[in-house]
Amino acid sequence: MTLRLTDDETEALRGCADRLGKSMQEVARIAIAEYVSNRQARLSIAIRAVATEDAELLERLRR
């Protein structure tokens, strides 16, 4: 896989990697893992909210 970044994104990633004492690749992999994990958590919260707030409507649609 090739990840193409702008010059500004590359510099931001490099700065973050330097501050953390990690490689740019490692920082990018961590960021992607956190993004995916957080996205799944936000989706689960949204689904639970809809199920709770629209329980009556969902029950009527089920019938």
Q: Determine the 3-state secondary structure of 22 from DSSP.
A: coil
Question: Which segments of the chain have a pLDDT < 50?
Answer: none
The model carries a pTM of 0.61
Q: Half-sphere exposure (CA, 13 Å, Cβ side) for 59? A: 5
State residue 20's pLDDT score. 96
State residue 4's pLDDT score. 96
State residue 63's pLDDT score. 87
Distance separating alpha carbons of residues 54 and 4, to the nearest angstrom: 42
State residue 49's pLDDT score. 92
Distance separating alpha carbons of residues 31 and 41, to the nearest angstrom: 15
Residue 24 and residue 17 in contact, taking contact as beta carbons nearer than 8 Å: yes
Distance separating alpha carbons of residues 39 and 10, to the nearest angstrom: 24
Amino acid at 21: G
